Amino acid sequence: MYSEKDFKEKIAELLVVRASAHLHDHQREYPKWELSNKKLHRLLEEGVGGVILFGGSLAELSERCKNLNSWAKNSLLLCADVEEGVGQRFSGGQWLAPPMSLNKIYQKDSQAALNFAELYGRCIGLEARRNGLNWVLAPVCDVNTNSKNPVIDVRAWGDDPLIVSALTCSFYKGLSSQGVIACAKHFPGHGDTEIDSHLALPTLEHDLKRLMQVELVPFRALISLGIETVMTGHLLCKQIDHKNPATVSKLIISKLLRQELGFKGLVVTDALIMGAMTKAYGSTEAAVMAFDAGADLILMPDNPDQAIEAIYQSLLSGRIPMDRLENSLQRRRNLITKIDSFSKLPSTQPLALRTHDQKFRYQTNSLCHDLVVSSMEVLHPGSIQEVNSGLNLIRVDGVIPCSPLHRTSPSISLPEDIGYRTILIHAMGVSPWTEDSNAPLDIDRLGNGPVLLQLFLRGNPFRGDNDFKEPWSIILNQLQRLNRLAGLIVFGSPYIWKDLKSNLNPYIPAAYSPGQMDEAQYQLLTSLIAPCGDNIKLKSNLDKEFTI
């Protein structure tokens, strides 16, 4: 029998805490969730076995992972939500068009999409591994059958379970070829929901037959390939377990996932600080319930010390059988052994990495370009002319931070080159709305001249259904009625694009891309703006130096 100290160290192995990749405490972007260096150092010395990282640059990430490993008592699982490339979370890395872009390509050429998906996984896997990560929290396996889904949207690989299965399996093959662990999420499927589980608890009304035909299809396919980890979604599947959300449900984790689908790997919870859990149970009780239900790894409990103590007391009292701890620790040891074995792969040897640097840069830059170009849609190319005084009206989620936009972003610099002054609509700005439901945009106050409307709209955590409440269809009609709409560009949701496109006058220039990064902006803006000498000054992202 373990001593109390040893007992708690074993429990700590099963916790994954959040940290910033920035090296100093004052640089943390989300200090409410990201542990201070002092606390992080202590917890790792006391046995905590995993860290999820967010923010910072590639160089900082690499250095941070080395530091964390040096502080840790145990071999660490180091992970990040880099579903769309390491550059999605860490500056300097490659940021790819979201998975939904692959679905759009699949409709035209299925084999090309499958090839892209495998290269997508390889790109993420190699860049993650080179910078210290050994576990990527992807692919998203949710089948996005609900167009009003506020948090999955373009993160999904589509709305057809068979296509999602094919693409996620190709992605997994590419990712695992680079010596990185994958994670299928959010079991049993977050695709048909209209509530963001970061804020509240979504409900699925489907019975087991429907789940087997749609939601579970990608998970079953990946389990058959040997995927190492599965993440639970904070979802109430009423016809499977009417009382307990999936994360804390024995019927869903132990019976459905383990027994019915035969999953032998590690089950990890989604972040326990999310509203779906904290509002019902509190993070600490959710940690105990999740572990009791069959989860092996506890992700982001609000207070790691309290979570360790609560699980300890539950094991000591007999509420949770002691073999639950031993089983989870053994699964974790198996995973660490697999990670260690990856170092022997030819593709991960130091000499191979150096030899393939140039080839990798070319492949990933080409992939970034090809995904954008193959999945974008352009109406009336080359139709936006230079003007003396126009408005470049850009809607973004916020400006602190704003991943898609910076000082030299194509969506800002290219319109300004041809006379369009940039105005941002965001949550921290002055409200652009009027009380007139038929003309909700206060266009006179914003300024005179033609308006280029650019909308950055996609499923984003913590926004709920705010994006669906914004009256963009009415605004589109308002600008067209005033004969002031110079063009429309949508970056993100294909559902919003489809709706707005149906309301466009047939002569209005317009473009769409699932992606929001610089390359998507560059390709769409240069497609719509009429050639005019030296006005297009910015080079494609492909021409920039790419550092791994």
DSSP structural state of residue 183: E
Residues facing 230 on adjacent strands: 184, 267
- Concatenate the DSSP letters of all residues of 367-428 into one string: HHHHHHHHH-EEESTT-BPP-SSEEEEEE-S-SSS-TT--TT-HHHHHHHHTTEEEEEE-TT
Name which of 535, 9, 20 is nearest 305 in CA terms: 9
Residue 25 annotated among the catalytic residues of the structure: no
Q: Cα–Cα–Cα angle for 399, 103, 453, nearest 5°? A: 35
Residue 394: C-alpha distances to residues 126, 430, 508 (Å): 34, 13, 17
Name which of 228, 200, 210 is nearest 337 in CA terms: 228
CA gyration radius, the chain = 24
Residue 286: C-alpha distances to residues 16, 271, 281, 331 (Å): 14, 10, 6, 21
For residue 422, how far is the Cα from the chain centroid? 28
Residue 74: C-alpha distances to residues 15, 32, 47 (Å): 12, 26, 6
Count of Cβ atoms closer than 10 Å to residue 273 Cβ: 18
Count of Cβ atoms closer than 10 Å to residue 518 Cβ: 22
User: Of residues 22, 186, 190, 198, which has the active-site annotation?
Assistant: 198
Residue 41: C-alpha distances to residues 64, 297, 332 (Å): 12, 20, 21
Residue located via tokens 């198996």: 334
Q: 457: part of which helix (H) or strand (E)?
A: strand 451-457
* Backbone dihedral region for residue 153 (phi beyond 0: left; psi -120 to 50: alpha; all else: beta): left
Under DSSP, is residue 204 helix (H, G, I), strand (E, B) or coil? strand
Contact predicate 294/253, CB 8 Å: yes
β-strands 298-299, 266-268: how paired? unpaired
Residue 356 annotated among the catalytic residues of the structure: no
Torsions phi, psi for 268 (to 5 deg): -120, 140
Count of Cβ atoms closer than 10 Å to residue 259 Cβ: 10
Residue located via tokens 């640059």: 57
Task: Tell me how far apart the alpha carbons of residues 216 and 208 are, in angstroms, rounded to a whole number.
Answer: 9
Count of Cβ atoms closer than 10 Å to residue 422 Cβ: 17
Give the tokens for residue 170.
């190709």
Contact predicate 92/19, CB 8 Å: no
Count of Cβ atoms closer than 10 Å to residue 209 Cβ: 9
User: Of residues 192, 270, 302, 397, which has the active-site annotation?
Assistant: 270
DSSP structural state of residue 57: B
Cite the active site residues.
Answer: 198, 270
